[in-house]
Structure 1
Amino acid sequence: TDQASAAPQAQAPATAETATAPAAAAAPADVRVNAVEIEGDKIFVAGTAKPQANVFGYADDKLIGKAKAGADGHFVIDGVMPLAVGDHKIRVDVVDAAGKVLVRASVNFNRPEGNQVTVAAQSGTSTGNATTPMISLDEGALGKLKNDAAKAFALLSGLFSDGKVPGNEQLAAARSANEFALKSIVDFRAAADATADFKERVTTASMKASDALKLLQSLPRDASSVGAALAKLGQMVADLTAPPAAPAAPAAPANEVASGDAGPATIEQAPLQESKETVIIRRGDTLWQISRRIYGAGVRYTTIYVANEDKIVNPDRILPGQVFGLPKDALPNAEEMHRKRMSGEHL
């Protein structure tokens, strides 16, 4: 059973209200609506803008509320506004100190039936001439596996730095970590509804990981043999883990353009789509609370952390306005991961 009420303060991740962003967080160029949650008559609008920007949110041109973007550029606007099932439009204005609208984002969505629903951006959204993609859970998972492979190889190569020769136990542990990381990529499969581009990247990554794994497994167990093959293995891992080349920015589609001939520039986003695996981080939220609501036990919050690790400084720092993906089921070892964290181990 969930023991959140009896857990020590250190066990429950800190509230989003008190979390702060790293100073070097990248700032978005203009403004974007990332997701909308409806809970009864309450509405929550999450998005990104320039850090500390003042933003006003509207539903069907009626004011929902206002907010200020955090140091990381995320904001969440909330208010009471009953919305009937059907089509609606969300607008977010960025205003200066005098209240003048500098730029606005506008996005349509269809409000599904239900007392608690979420709609979210499912793909890239134009901001002027740039496109900011939403990273799918699958893509984030593959990125994490690649990052794990890079870390594992760094550990292995570090054993040989400055002319050192590792002992048998050290070498065996490092080899095992590399084999596990590479095999995880070999076994990774894209979801059936993934894009063709992502499926192709998964196939390529699997083939490259398989080649590196075969080389590693073919090496004798002694340090000199591994050391001699380190440069070649390193090149293979670097090729595997290198970020994909950024595609040339396409021209904004007709339903997703910035136009400013009359009044402030308006960024028209592609419509938001219903999502049952998305949650907006609100002021006061904790991973523990969200996990208890979604998975029935706060201690399973590590599932949410692992799925969104690229967005979280640590489990105690979640930021209002962030949009997290929610895996359908909790990880089978979620509670064990929590115990490890309480023991001081990194998740």
Structure 2
Amino acid sequence: MKHMILALAVMASLAAVSATQAAEAQSMSDDNMMMSGSVIPQFVETVVRSWVDGTTSDSTFIGALQELIALDIIHLESRITGTDSLTIGFIPVKPVDFGGFEPAAEDFAEFLSSQLGVDVQTSIPSSYEPIIESLRFGHIDAAIMDTGPACLAISQSGAEVLMAEVDSGRIYYQATVWVSADNDDTIDSIGYVLDKKVSFTSETGSSGFVRPFGSLVTGGHVTINGDDVVALEAAIDDAFESHAFPGSYGGAAKLLAEGAVDVAFGNDRLPTYLPEEQRGLIKPALTLGPVPSHVLVVSADMSENNKKALTDAVLKLNGGPNASILSDLYGVDAMLPTTTDHHMAGFCDNINDLVGFEDRLLDKFRN
């Protein structure tokens, strides 16, 4: 279903293809589809046919659309209006890593500038605070962000999610509770983890902390008595026999596989972070829900025309000669249109209920 929604979103973003053309394309005969001299590559025609017949997946169909955009067969000509420049912020980079990241960010900006007809500038901070504040006060126009900071940007500045990263064919992964493979307990509620030895991933991890502990709070299993990060940390201490923040998926998986904890929190691929011989030592016990991928957000005052122009330009990076730009930037396959409600649904509620989390998150990226 999500792939279908994304397919519709991509199709809706193709301004150069009118509704009439779309209707004609859906009803055209085989002869019309395979016209001699067609500019549509043969493999794309084959994919479209088989998708209509139900023999090709939605993700393959989306890939074919992306290829048409990348080859400029579907021509997207939207331009930025009302300004002669655009500033894009990026996920914070530590000063020691800045030199390696800057060229990829500049390539991204130069491509957008060539498509949008305006100067595109970059803002690469060492923390999220200036990005969120800049969105709030209109000093930057858009930013690529982790989901946690994106929730803060949405609530504090009215920012809007415009696009989502696609990684390994997915825009979501599932936050999952993991236990030892020999655990025979019946586990049907997140409340099971209370008073256990647990391992999160990091103090700000989306699937490894925000989703599981946020679920405990929103579900009424844990109460945070206070309004700051000290109260949050006290609630964590009180909820478990012990807890660990090893800092990574692999660290949490290792603690569980070695029997140091009863429960580990992470994504739905946690065993892949273990050596082959240890992967069978842990098993999923409970799925908590989707964690959204990184997002491209735009400021609250960006016009509809400019949002569409930016979307059209970024779509051209999904394949073809420019595909390496996104890969070099964040190692992702593509970025596709979405909305705040669709992509972030439910996730920001967990953050809003984690009193003190904002200070914790901003401190992480400040250091």
Relative to the length of structure 2, the TM-score reads: 0.24
More strand by share: 1
More helix by share: 2
Relative to the length of structure 1, the TM-score reads: 0.25
